[in-house]
Structure 1
Amino acid sequence: MPHNILIIDDEDDIRAVAALSLETVAGWEVATANSGAQGVERAESLQPEAILLDVMMPGMDGRATFAALQQNPRTAAIPVVLLTAKSQSSEREQLAALGVAGVLTKPFDPLTLPGAIAAVLGWDT
Structure 2
Amino acid sequence: MTTLTTILHVDDDEDILEIARMALQLVDNFDLYQCNSGPKALEMLDDVKPQLLLLDVMMPSMTGPDLFDIVRSNERHRDIPAIFMTAKAEDEMSKKLLEGGALDVFTKPFDPMTLGSQIRTVWAKREKEIANCKT
2:50 pairs, out of 29, 48, 51, with: 48
Q: Normalized against structure 1, the TM-score is what? A: 0.91
After the TM superposition, which residues 8-47 of structure 1 pair with which residues of structure 2 at under 5 Å, given as runs? Answer: 8-47=10-49
Tell which structure's C-alpha radius of gyration is larger: 2
Q: Which structure dedicates a bigger proportion of its chain to helix?
A: 2
Deviations 1:2-53 (A, max 9, x none): 7111101111111111011001221111111110111122123211111100
| 1-structure distance, mates of 2:110, 2:11 | 14
Amino acid at match of 2:47: S
Match of 1:76 in 2: 78
| 1-structure distance, mates of 2:78, 2:4 | 22
Structure 2: gaps spanning 5 or more residues: 126-135
Deviations 1:38-92 (A, max 9, x none): 1122123211111100000001111110111001112111111111112232321
SS at match of 2:19: helix
Match of 1:6 in 2: 8
Structure 1: gaps spanning 5 or more residues: none
| 2-structure distance, mates of 1:95, 1:86 | 13
2:93 pairs, out of 91, 98, 114, with: 91
Structure 1 stretches of 4+ with a deviation exceeding 6 A read none
**Structure 1 vs Structure 2: percent identity of aligned residues?**
36
What is the CA RMSD across the aligned residues, in angstroms? 1.8
| 2-structure distance, mates of 1:40, 1:74 | 12
Size of the aligned set, in residue pairs, is: 124
